[in-house]
Amino acid sequence: MDFSVRKNEHGSGRKHFSAAVIGSGPAGLTAAIYLGRSKVDTVVFEKVIPGGYVVNVEKIENYPGFVEGISGEKLGELYARHAERFGAEIRSEEVTKLTLNEVPFRIETSHGSYTSDSLILATGTSNKKLGVPGEEEFTHKGISFCATCDAPFFEGEDVVVVGAGNSGVQESLYISRFAKHITIMEFLDHSTAEPILIDRLNENNKIELLTSHSVVSFKGEKFLSNVDVKDIKSGEVKNLKVKGAFIYAGEIPNNDLVKDTIKLDEKGFIVTDDSLRTSIKGIFAAGDVRNTPLRQVATAIGDGAIAGHEVYKFLEESK
Amino acid sequence: MELISEEDKKYLREEFDKALKREVEILYFGEQGKGSQYSIQTKELLEELVALNDNLSLTLKNCDDADEMKSEGLSFCPSIKVKSERSGFVNFYGIPAGHEFISLVEAINDMGSNNLSLPDDVVEGLKGIDENVDIKVFITHSCPYCPGAVRNAHQFSLVNEKIKGSMVDANYFGKLSMKHGVSSVPHIIVNDKTGFVGNMPPNLFLDKVKEALK
């Protein structure tokens, strides 16, 4: 068992900041590091724990510098300590409302109100739901969106994983430590995961990949007990007996705070220019929540650096 | 081999020095003198922890002592109850390892100080509760969302002495988890009846608790 301690926040009690970062994933915390080094007083709001979605990833193997990989939890903690070293204040508060029609921008959180002269939106993405019958009914009753949280409940059971992208395959490999058999369901006729992950999938005799299949419905009484799946090519529907289902069928941007105020693309991702400026002056976006061709830790770090630098320039020019 | 790294011990010493204004007793009900690796490791963890500050002490009790368990308001063993002169029922059923280790540290800091990180409206809402409320937060050690829910339950108990807040290691207490239909965490059970799933800000957490009481 692990007994390493996540460092506590120490709030200053301040209510106004020059820069506020919403979200403490790799993009948000990198921005905070750059802002801190530029001597910009910065607050970072995080509703779960520092690291953002990355803390759910057991091992990140494609982030340069960590030859043997590093756990997402550890990486998140390192980012937080790094940002705090340069003066950023990390607050475990959920941002509930933004008022963006006046400067300073107003930020309402689960614990109070703040103002800031600039904002970086780094709120990331969430797992997309399938929208099929039974999904709502059996969510948390067999259906899960967090393998690291819930996989131990399916020790010795059959489960289905929906989605054979990087997340679906990586999480299936993790779930295989507990489950007896895993069927990965993929809508496309191939997995879109990195070839190295597909190799591992092929070597794992607990995991079966079913391509060109989609979920028709989740079924059961009190808890999930079976899933109807459809062969897209033949149209045949078959039934799989499973106790659990983990859904990794794509991402949706966490844009609730700004969906009515800031320009989004057709999929709801925040539109930015090369300097990561959004449609409102003084507000920038970084990481997975913006319209970017690749959503990885490495690309989020780059975004964070640009956003931090651009906010500093913006604040200097505004003086 | 020690369970807490030297680096973390250094950090915790500083944390406890800053936070602890009064004595805090950690009351551990376990299988003393025998028991599983789980019990042995829990005891070792607590011994390492209390050695970090003079305000901390550890009292070892046996699971067999049903009367003492009952007098402490505890239902299951192993259990770690964090106590001080401050009123509050701050408890852990099972070992707070992994992501939950921070919950234990926060519980110690809260009981050793006057810390309260709840918004005023939530505090007022909690004061208005006039019935006994037992909040059990089922967790897994690998769940990053769980410590927030545990913290809510513990902090609620600091405001209103009718409220009990306990973390429950869902894997160790497997039968209890099955009884309550736990298959996703954090899963919160109120008064051993209804509940809800997920971490959320304190105001929404309070709303859910009140809803479960109806």
Closest by CA to A261, choosing from A97, A46, A127, is: A97
**Same-domain check for residues B131 and B204:** yes
Once rounded to an integer, what is the mean pLDDT over residues B141-152? 93
**Same-domain check for residues B34 and B94:** yes
Domain assignment present for residue B187? The answer is yes
Enter the tokens of residue A241. Answer: 């007996």
Cβ partners under 8 Å of residue B104, min gap 6: B49, B80, B82, B92, B96
The radius of gyration computed from the CA coordinates of chain B, to the nearest angstrom, equals: 16
Enter the tokens of residue A297. Answer: 């830790």
Q: Of B68, B99, B130, which residue is a domain's last?
A: B99
Cα angle for residues B146, B148, B153 (degrees, 5° grid) = 100
Domain assignment present for residue B68? The answer is yes
Q: What is the DSSP letter of B124?
A: H
**Which of A3-17, A95-109, A110-124, A293-307 is predicted least confidently?**
A3-17
Distance CA B69, CA B29 (A): 8
pLDDT tens for residues A97-146?
999 999 999 999 988 899 999 999 999 999 999 999 999 999 999 999 99
The amino acid at residue B211 is: E
Contact B149, A159 (CB under 8 A): no
Please report residues of B whose CB lies closer than 8 A to that of A141.
Answer: 181, 183-184
CATH 1.10.1740.10 fits A16-126+252-318, yes or no: no
Is the pLDDT at A3 greater than 80, yes or no?
no
Domain assignment present for residue B107? The answer is no
3-state DSSP assignment of residue B57: strand
Numbered residues of chain A with Cβ closer than 8 Å to any chain B Cβ:
1-8, 47-49, 51, 55-56, 73, 92-94, 96, 110-112, 139-142, 144, 146, 148-150, 152-154, 222-223, 244
Q: What is the DSSP letter of B98?
A: G
A8 falls in which pLDDT band (50, 70, 90)?
low
**Same-domain check for residues B83 and B135:** no
pLDDT tens for residues B1-59?
788 999 899 999 999 999 999 999 999 998 876 667 888 889 999 999 999 999 999 99
Closest by CA to A38, choosing from A285, A313, A318, is: A313
Q: Quote the minimal CA–CA distance from B67 to chain A in Å.
A: 31
pTM here is 0.90
ipTM of the complex: 0.88
What is the 3-state secondary structure of chain A?
CCCCCCCCCCCCCCCEECEEEECCCHHHHHHHHHHHHCCCCEEEECCCCCCHHHHHCCCECCCCCCCCCECHHHHHHHHHHHHHHCCCEEECCCEEEEECCCCCEEEEECCCEEEECCEEECCCEEECCCCCCCHHHHECCCEECCHHHHHHHHCCCEEEEECCCHHHHHHHHHHCCCCCEEEEECCCCCCCCCHHHHHHHHHCCCEEEECCEEEEEEEECCCEEEEEEEECCCCCEEEEECCEEEECCCEEECCCCCCCCCCECCCCCECCCCCCECCCCCEEECHHHECCCCCCHHHHHHHHHHHHHHHHHHHHHHC
Domain assignment present for residue B108? The answer is no
**Same-domain check for residues B209 and B137:** yes
Once rounded to an integer, what is the mean pLDDT over residues B162-183? 95
Look at chain B and report how many structural domains it folds into: 2
What pLDDT is attached to residue B125? 96
Q: Quote the minimal CA–CA distance from A107 to chain B in Å.
A: 15
**Same-domain check for residues B39 and B68:** yes
What pLDDT is attached to residue B80? 96
Domain extent, residue B17, equals 6-99
**Same-domain check for residues B136 and B195:** yes
Enter the tokens of residue A17. Answer: 């900041």
pLDDT tens for residues B76-96?
999 999 999 999 999 999 999
Nearest to A2 among B97, B105, B143 (CB): B97
Which CATH class for the A129-249 domain? alpha beta
* B183·A153 Cβ contact <8 A: yes
* Domain harbouring B176, CATH code: 3.40.30.10
Once rounded to an integer, what is the mean pLDDT over residues A293-310? 96
What pLDDT is attached to residue A9? 57
Domain assignment present for residue B203? The answer is yes
Q: Of B99, B128, B153, which residue is a domain's last?
A: B99
* A1·B197 Cβ contact <8 A: no
Q: Where are the domains of chain A?
A: 16-126+252-318, 129-249
Contact B185, B143 (CB under 8 A): yes
